[in-house]
């Protein structure tokens, strides 16, 4: 694992965590690790993935809230309710 891996996942930026996950997957796919090291790397990759998925879900929720503000129906105070 790299220097970034020595930091806790929650202290990495999203981009750093994505890069770390990519490196971890590459190492696992290279088939160069012993079984024990492969399991540790896999576990680390799962923790990275879980953290990243959580961050994405939080970001999506914020976007949904912001989009709701844009799509909010106008109230009676701002809507012209007079008959023309």
Let me know if residue 51 belongs to a domain: yes
- Could you report the per-residue pLDDT of 39-76, keeping only the tens digit for each? 999 999 999 999 999 999 999 999 999 888 877 666 66
Number of domains in the chain: 1
How far, in Å, CA of 81 to CA of 56, rounded? 41
Let me know if residue 72 belongs to a domain: no
Q: For the chain, give the percent of residues with pLDDT over 90.
A: 65
- Specify the pLDDT at position 16: 97
Rounded to the nearest angstrom, the gap between the alpha carbon of residue 59 and the centroid of all alpha carbons in its chain is: 8
Contact status, residue 4 vs residue 19, Cβ threshold 8 Å: yes
Record the pTM: 0.73
- Print the domain residue range for 42: 3-63
Mean of all residue pLDDT scores within the chain: 88
- Specify the pLDDT at position 44: 96
Let me know if residue 75 belongs to a domain: no
- Specify the pLDDT at position 27: 97
Domain CATH number, residue 44: 1.10.287
Let me know if residue 9 belongs to a domain: yes
């Amino acid at each position: 694992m790299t220097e970034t891996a020595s930091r806790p996942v929650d202290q990495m930026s999203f981009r750093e965590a994505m890069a770390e996950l990519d490196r971890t997957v590459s190492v696992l796919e290279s088939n160069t690790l012993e079984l024990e090291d492969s399991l540790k790397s896999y576990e680390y990759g799962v923790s990275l993935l879980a953290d990243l998925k959580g961050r994405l879900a939080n970001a999506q929720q914020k976007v949904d809230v912001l989009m709701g503000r844009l799509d909010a129906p106008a109230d009676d105070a701002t809507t012209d309710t007079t008959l023309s």
